[in-house]
């Protein structure tokens, strides 16, 4: 069961859910691919000798670093949850230590969305929520930022417009 489901108050319903987009996994995957390419190039060009050891060492460093980076990003993606209910906006991060941020919809003043060309093509972007006397840190790399913004702005004030 998702964290947002356990958080619901009587009469509260979920309007939108989101999480970090899968694109955050591309950089670590590229690191692992680069490690494989370096290892293969070393095997083909320099199969023996000191330079071969250096090439394999670089491949191992890239591979281990990329794998650790990939695990960290995958954990971040799977343990981060964003949600909009008919009463509030919720952000949850973490597994061992839990960090949540909530804002009542009647306290939301505006919601900004930034999307690059790549973000528009693949469906991710940055959402910044401005509230009365406060502002959330921007939510970077969120899936379907326009849908998330629409769920908030359609229900500002606790009721549908």
Q: Within 10 Å of residue 133's Cβ, how many Cβ atoms?
A: 7
Query: What's the whole-number mean pLDDT along residues 140-159?
Result: 84
Query: Is 33 inside any structural domain?
Result: yes
Choice between 5 and 31, residue whose per-residue pLDDT is larger: 31
Query: Is 53 inside any structural domain?
Result: yes
Query: Is 9 inside any structural domain?
Result: no
Q: Are residues 38 and 66 in the same domain?
A: yes
Q: Are residues 51 and 94 in the same domain?
A: no
Query: What's the whole-number mean pLDDT along residues 50-65?
Result: 92
pLDDT-derived band of residue 157, with 50, 70 and 90 as boundaries?
A: low
Query: Is 109 inside any structural domain?
Result: yes
pLDDT-derived band of residue 128, with 50, 70 and 90 as boundaries?
A: very high
pLDDT-derived band of residue 161, with 50, 70 and 90 as boundaries?
A: very low
User: Structurally, how many domains does the chain consist of?
Assistant: 2
Query: Is 106 inside any structural domain?
Result: yes
Q: Are residues 118 and 97 in the same domain?
A: yes
Q: Are residues 58 and 117 in the same domain?
A: no
Query: Is 54 inside any structural domain?
Result: yes
Q: Are residues 108 and 44 in the same domain?
A: no
Q: Which of 44, 75, 106 finishes a domain?
A: 75
Query: Is 142 inside any structural domain?
Result: yes
Q: What is the pLDDT of residues 13-53, one digit of tens each?
A: 999 999 999 999 999 999 999 999 999 998 888 877 888 88
Rg of the chain in Å (alpha carbons)? 21
Query: What's the whole-number mean pLDDT along residues 156-160?
Result: 54
Q: Are residues 34 and 66 in the same domain?
A: yes
Per residue in 44-78, is it b (16+ CB within 10 Å) or e — as a string? eeeeeeeeeeebeeebeebbeebeebbeebeebbe
Query: What's the whole-number mean pLDDT along residues 135-152?
Result: 91
Q: What is the pLDDT of residues 70-113, one digit of tens each?
A: 999 999 999 999 999 998 999 999 888 888 888 888 888 889 99
Nearest to 125 by CA among 150, 99, 101: 150
Host domain of residue 32: 25-75
pLDDT-derived band of residue 1, with 50, 70 and 90 as boundaries?
A: low
Q: Are residues 68 and 97 in the same domain?
A: no
Q: Are residues 95 and 159 in the same domain?
A: yes
d(CA 59, CA 41): 10
Query: Is 159 inside any structural domain?
Result: yes
């Amino acid at each position: 069961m998702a964290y947002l489901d356990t958080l619901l108050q009587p009469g509260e319903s979920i309007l939108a859910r989101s999480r970090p987009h899968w694109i955050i996994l591309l950089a670590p995957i590229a690191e692992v691919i680069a490690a494989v390419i370096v290892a293969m190039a070393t095997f083909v060009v320099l199969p023996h000798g000191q330079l071969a050891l250096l090439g394999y060492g670089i491949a191992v460093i890239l591979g281990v670093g990329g794998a650790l980076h990939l695990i960290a990003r995958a954990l971040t993606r799977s343990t981060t949850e964003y949600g909009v209910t008919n009463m509030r906006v919720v952000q949850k991060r973490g597994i061992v230590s839990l960090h949540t941020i909530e804002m009542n919809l009647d306290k939301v003043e505006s919601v900004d969305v930034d999307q690059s060309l790549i973000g528009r093509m693949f469906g991710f972007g940055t959402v910044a929520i401005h509230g009365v006397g406060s502002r959330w840190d921007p939510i970077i790399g969120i899936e379907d930022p326009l849908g998330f913004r629409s769920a908030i702005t359609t229900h500002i004030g606790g009721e549908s417009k």
